[in-house]
A = this chain, B = another copy of it.
């Protein structure tokens, strides 16, 4: 289906400006400050309804890590008019599905449902934005659910523990060093008071973004949104969003974690890197392409040098996403081949990077990656839910609809020189953490 569409749309693959215009996106703001984005897609009579709060784990008070995610769970408990669990049950009864997600920068709630049930979704979502009721038993039960979630996803997974420790070493001051799910000891101290503080501070229409995508028109959405969300009072005490920022990072850091449960040892390196900012996305675009060039697949620089030329690694990757409110990271991974030590793998990585800095970007490879990016944009537009997430997420990090639409064109405009300049700037070990996850036991 996706492949067919790409073929069908082949003629537009080389016209990024036309592509952007293809997103039928309308945005406006309600009187109480709630932003609204409408993405029209009339191919099927369904709609995705999302409410995004500009509040994530990095907005938590110190010591209360995990409260954003905890609240996300508790939002499925009752309100004055809905019993616990009734929200999701109602969505399911009407043939839809719903879920929620918490990141460092936002918390989002969504339902995918028949377009004619949109009014009901808005009524229920507006209700829980203001009228959450938390019974003592729900508080305790759900906290245990989250601790169990942490046990399964983190405590029992050395790779997850390693990433958590590494991220804490990456950020010297910014709360991005704190895990989204929270430190276990802090989760255990969370209670009704902290949850309600977070809820009352951040859950308000003027801190929220409504994204509706699918078989809807902007006028319909506006009318319904004004009825349900427009009636809610703004939180006039809301402070401008601001987190402690990173000081200059001046010292290369390294980290070794050894755990008997590790199956495949690997080397991972992350460099502090800039994020996409409104009107200033060029550097992030260059880093996006740099990640593809270095570690985006079988023809990438790291794959060629470490996997094919020298059989040092069985897997290499580089990844970067500029979707972040504050400074993010540029990441690389090398999984050494049998008989190759982590030390040797890391040395091979450094050698490969040094060679790349001398050799520069292969022009044909860059063109291939840009072509992939154009194709990816087309595929993505076929997935209305993904598109809705893209716009919602972008707005929580201070980007505009125009920034999102400009992005594909900016990606296409990046030159090899831009990429090398970004590489020289960002691939600075003083701002990097290099981690080894190893299978041996720790020794004194």
Instruction: Report A's interface with B, CB cutoff 8 A.
Output: 62-63, 65, 161-162, 165-166, 168-169, 172-173, 175, 177-178, 183-186, 242-245, 247, 249-257, 259, 353-354, 357, 424, 427-430, 435, 442, 444
Contacts of A444 in B (CB 8 A): 353-354, 357, 424, 427-429
Contacts of A424 in B (CB 8 A): 444
Majority-rule SS of A interface residues: mixed
Which listed residue, B169, B259, B430, touches A172 by the CB 8 Å rule? B169
Count copies of this chain in the complex. 2
Contact call A253/B251, Cβ cutoff below 8 A: no
Query: Complex: how many Å from CA A249 to CA B184?
Result: 12
Contacts of A244 in B (CB 8 A): 62-63, 65, 183, 186
Contact call A62/B247, Cβ cutoff below 8 A: no
Contact call A250/B165, Cβ cutoff below 8 A: yes
Query: Complex: how many Å from CA A436 to CA B62?
Result: 31
Which listed residue, B65, B243, B429, touches A62 by the CB 8 Å rule? B243
Q: A165-B250, A253-B256, A257-B430 are in contact. List 10 more A-B contacts (CB 8 A).
A: A166-B251, A169-B169, A172-B177, A185-B247, A186-B245, A251-B435, A252-B256, A253-B253, A424-B444, A430-B442
Closest to A256 in B: B252
Given A244-B186, A252-B257, A444-B428, residue A172 in contact with residue B168 (CB < 8 A)? yes
Contact call A185/B251, Cβ cutoff below 8 A: no
Contact call B62/A175, Cβ cutoff below 8 A: yes
